[in-house]
Amino acid sequence: MSGLTNRRVLLPVLALASIGALLAGCAQEPSATASSAPAASSAAASTAASEAPASPAASASAAPELTACSKENLTLVTPGTLTIGTDTPAYPPYFSDDDPSNGEGFESAVAYAVADGLGFAPNEVTWATVPFNSSYAPGDKAFDFDINQISITPKRQKVVDFSNGYYTVNQAVIALKDSPIANATTLAELQAAKLGAQIGTTSLDFINEVVQPADQPYVYNDTNDAKSALQNGQIDGIVVDLPTAYYITAVEIPKGKIVGQFKAQEGGEQFGLLFAKGNPLVSCVNEVIDGLAASGELQSIQDEWLAGDVAPYFTE
């Protein structure tokens, strides 16, 4: 009896224990579900935040930083337009068809390469007619820079600013094929000759300072007058830069020839873009010219427009 009684007592106790365990398990499930809800909500919020558009401040910080040489910050004669000066007529091989805006010719091509480097499209470039002699006169300018075979000299640098050189040139002598100096090979032979050059040019300075002829050089208002004097037999030869000498003898004076060229002085005579004194645009243009030189583009432009046989060098 005692065993049966014990079993009767134990069974209800075990049943109660099982029910208690089940109730305890059920009581824990809501707690687990509640704790997972904030985690899911946090993950959803994180995803939404990552997919949301960037704020205006974040977008602005990603934009390229403007510098002093950014197009928007350049000091220009006409805001938004790059104004370039040159003389007229504009001669080959520097320009073509007396139209600097067509991009043809050495200096027109250089000008547009510089404009592009500054951020200007071709239709944002305008040209101004500037006589050679007035380009380097003191005072304000009606252009941002002038490109017109202007040699960089200390005298000119006193009243205007120049860019780094974009071309190094030599001076050359042109004569008719039957001229007394047609076959000259030395400076001594040139010293007895009647030589001419355009006023205000490095060519005229070269005659006076390097050749030092016995007679005063003949001075002309422009190269056209000098060429006419040569063809009329009034002078024996004219001094011009080498690229111009190639063009004159090939196109304008077929009976002419390049007698020879002078060796470049130390550092070499260079053409530079000309600016009003103190123009802050100079440093920005120098960055562009240095880049064009480093990339080889400047040399490519030169090769395209100033190709030709090398003239013989004069000796002492």
Residue pair 110/166 in contact by the 8 Å Cβ criterion: yes
Q: What is the CATH number of the domain that holds 212?
A: 3.40.190.10
Same domain, 48 and 195: no
- The answer to whether position 316 is within a domain reads no
- The answer to whether position 313 is within a domain reads no
Same domain, 93 and 121: yes
- The answer to whether position 310 is within a domain reads no
- The answer to whether position 312 is within a domain reads no
d(CA 83, CA 76): 8
- What is the total count of domains within the chain? 3
- The answer to whether position 220 is within a domain reads yes
Same domain, 33 and 180: no
Same domain, 177 and 29: no
Same domain, 179 and 127: no
Residue pair 145/86 in contact by the 8 Å Cβ criterion: no
Same domain, 137 and 192: no
Find the angle CA(187)-CA(197)-CA(253) to the nearest 5 degrees: 95
Same domain, 118 and 93: yes
Same domain, 285 and 245: no
Model-wide pTM > 0.75 = no
- The answer to whether position 314 is within a domain reads no
Closest CA to 200 of 264, 129, 151, 138: 151
- The answer to whether position 93 is within a domain reads yes
- The answer to whether position 108 is within a domain reads yes
One digit per residue, the tens of pLDDT, for the chain of length 316 reads 444 334 333 334 333 344 344 334 434 443 333 333 344 444 444 444 444 454 544 444 555 688 999 999 999 999 999 999 999 988 888 999 999 999 999 999 999 999 999 999 999 999 999 999 999 999 999 999 999 999 999 999 999 999 999 998 889 999 999 999 999 999 999 999 999 999 999 899 999 999 999 999 999 999 999 999 999 999 999 999 888 898 899 889 999 999 998 876 667 789 999 999 999 999 999 999 999 999 999 999 988 888 655 578 898 8
Which run of H or of E encompasses 261?
strand 256-261
Same domain, 108 and 76: yes
Same domain, 277 and 217: no
Same domain, 239 and 99: no
Contacts of 55 (CB under 8 A, 6+ apart): none
- Domain enclosing residue 209, as ranges: 171-261
Same domain, 163 and 277: yes
Find the radius of gyration of the CA atoms of the chain.
41
